[in-house]
A and B are shown apart, each in its own frame.
Chain A
Amino acid sequence: MSTDVVIRSTRAPARRTPPLAAGAGPYRLALRRLRRDRVALAFGALFLVIVAACLAAPLYARDVAHTGPNDNHVTDVVRVGGARRDVVSPEGIPIGPTWHGRFLLGADQNGRDIAVRLLYGGRNSLEVGFIATAITMLVATLAGGVAGYRRGASDAVLSRLFDLIWAYPAVLLGVALGTSLALGGLNLGLFTLSGRSLLVPALIIGFVYIPYVARPVRSQVLSLREREFVDAARLQGLGDMRILASEILPNLASTLIVFVPLMLANAILLEAGLSYLGAGIQPPNPSWGTMIGDGIQLLPTALHMTLVPGAMLVLAVLGINVLGDGVRDALDPHAPTRLPH
């Protein structure tokens, strides 16, 4: 009876994975599975291309478009296929895509080059997204880890804080904080921020999403701390912080990795929403959200103003989401994840 069980349990995984995998660790295996996921890799590559293009914004502005992201050209004239055309017509309608170096993707109502603003705006949107995600992941891991590991009073206080932030609809809390901070910036003695700083929306978005990560981290740490290897570490005399860092954290890693693309995608979307409402990145700083907001004002006459930043935003977020799905499947096909709204 018992031999039967042993044989079955060793054979079952051997049939699913090739013999090569005998000595490979879980991350090696996950990487191998991810490498076979062509769709996820293609969308990941798409996202990387967008990031690279946005990083090259100053090059494009200087050498191709010959204008900056905030330079107005309302009264300028461009040559399109031999004909001279106003950048912004006397009726206030901006020019559409010229498919030339200048105004490649058209102009906006102030005669600014949309392609240049698109790349600079992408830098801002992505920067806010990355910083916000870093803040969410760091704070949530620390707070969720401490709450789950220490339990008792620290857990009670931290969990109530998570509940409190959770009770606000994400957009509404972001809007509240964004309005409040855009009014006068932040002043914490040593640490001051002006209302126009990019860090303001990044901090807000990072803060709003903390409970979405901290709650699952806490519940996973709660069960991890009861495992034998944690007891063993404690018996060896290791301190709490050491156990959290070297015993618990490595077991949390795959959950955290799955959350990174999910949070990044949502942070970029929330930034767009806040900027659209005027509570995110402040004008004249471009971002995909503010550009779409400008475009919606002129939707019937200048569709390109909405379509261009909108397409870029959707492609970037789609790239992150599909890659993230592939990473999740590769790490653990049954990992539960919930999209915040």
Chain B
Amino acid sequence: MTADSFLFFFLAFVTLVSGLAVVLLANPIYSALCLAMTMVGVAGLFVTLNAFFIAGVQLIVYAGAVMVLFVMVLMLFDLRHELAAFTRGKFTGTVKIATVGLLAGLIVGAIMMSSGMLSDRSAQASDVLKTGADTTKDLGTLLFTKYVFGFEALGVLLLVIAIGAVSLARSKGGTHAKH
């Protein structure tokens, strides 16, 4: 087993185990922390695909911002009562087994359906991987030539999200409700 494939299997193992732990653990804080670990694992997988900038962005935005938001908000709510109500019983057991089954089915299906895909595109893709080229400048070039409208639209989308979040925080009965 080469070093590259060992790294890939290790990272895939970490990502999958963390992802399973998100679904199967009872404590929501543990689930959120395992989801952060999953994001870090996905960032590592991006690195094995030579997408270094996207790996860094995944770390900054997903693992460093979104998951911090999740963990902070989960810590604000004392979920122990809700926890007791939700993790007992046959319903949650069935939901957990169904989720694991769905995930396993997705994995098997992806492997079966992609075995033909890889052999067609492998020549082009592995050339990029072999040269180890840095794709950040290509990304920047593409962003401003082909996708410049999407880029501007993204700015407007982020503005809309900001307005929505602030207005959501102003809902009645909350600490920031308008008097």
* A and B interact physically: no
